[in-house]
Structure 1
Amino acid sequence: MKLPIVLGTDPENTIRIDKLPPLKGEFAVHIHTSENENNAHLKLEYGDTDYCLSLYVFNYPKFLKNETVRVRNYDLWPKWIMFAAKLPDGKLHPRSGGKVYREDAVIVGEGRYSLENPFISFEFRDGTKLSFRVEFYRYVRYYSPKYGKSFRSEYWFIGID
């Protein structure tokens, strides 16, 4: 699969979730304890590449209720980080390979997802099923203390009953 982006440097070339071809695969949900714990990072397998798509959910409790939430795209990251974190009990995820990509990352959910634009669905291992309509919201200029200036795309994930 060819990567359709220039990582976060140009709003015309960054990933637009609402324009991606159909995708499916595994996902993991990370909470970073140094951040607002009501927010979460979704790591979605990006096809048959060595990457995962990182999405920031601004209100994870609302997401879990299948309610409308704002989501920011943080583009592609190496796929190995999907499970390179601890579990809530402090143990490493069994698929971590003994690695942790961030000391404050805790995996609080995982399962399989499917993207068939404009719809995305998540099926958690515990049986929870969520479905959303993906609606582009805006581009934002973003500054990361670690990576510098970039553009990010934001979306509304609108819950579907």
Structure 2
Amino acid sequence: MCCKFDKELLYTFDDKTIQPLEKIFVEEHIKYCTDCQKDLKLITLINQNIKDELINIKFPDKLSTISQLVTENCIFEMEKTTIKSKIHNVIKTYSGINKAIKGSSVVYKHNPYNNFINNKIESTFNFIKKPIKHMVKNKLAEIGILKKLKLG
């Protein structure tokens, strides 16, 4: 049997960004649902493997600063616009981030010497998409777009 439970809650539960009421709901659900227990174990394992692998990867200090500034600038600009523009900008931003992730993964895919590294990097890029989507969703909720869309 396939559980219809919102798997996004399992991700937020694992990374401890879940709301207190939702946490109680998830804890009660996973007591009885073996599908979600397995999914949560897999999510936890994937997150731990990514953390273990990322420890060994060194990124230039400026890359982090530039990424943060670009993200903050996009969010700042989004907050100044109309709802329609905000929705358009969020979609464009997420699409741009997705393209950047795919584009940067091309460099790593052409490493003929180590398939293990290629597979780990590919899975990391695929996994990074979920937190970005989660961040965009939270930011939209924070600036009130989702509430306005539900009312409209």
TM-score calculated relative to the size of structure 2: 0.23
Give the strand-richer structure, 1 or 2: 1
Output the TM-score relative to the length of structure 1.
Answer: 0.22
Q: Which has the higher contact order (CA 8 A, sep 6+)?
A: 1
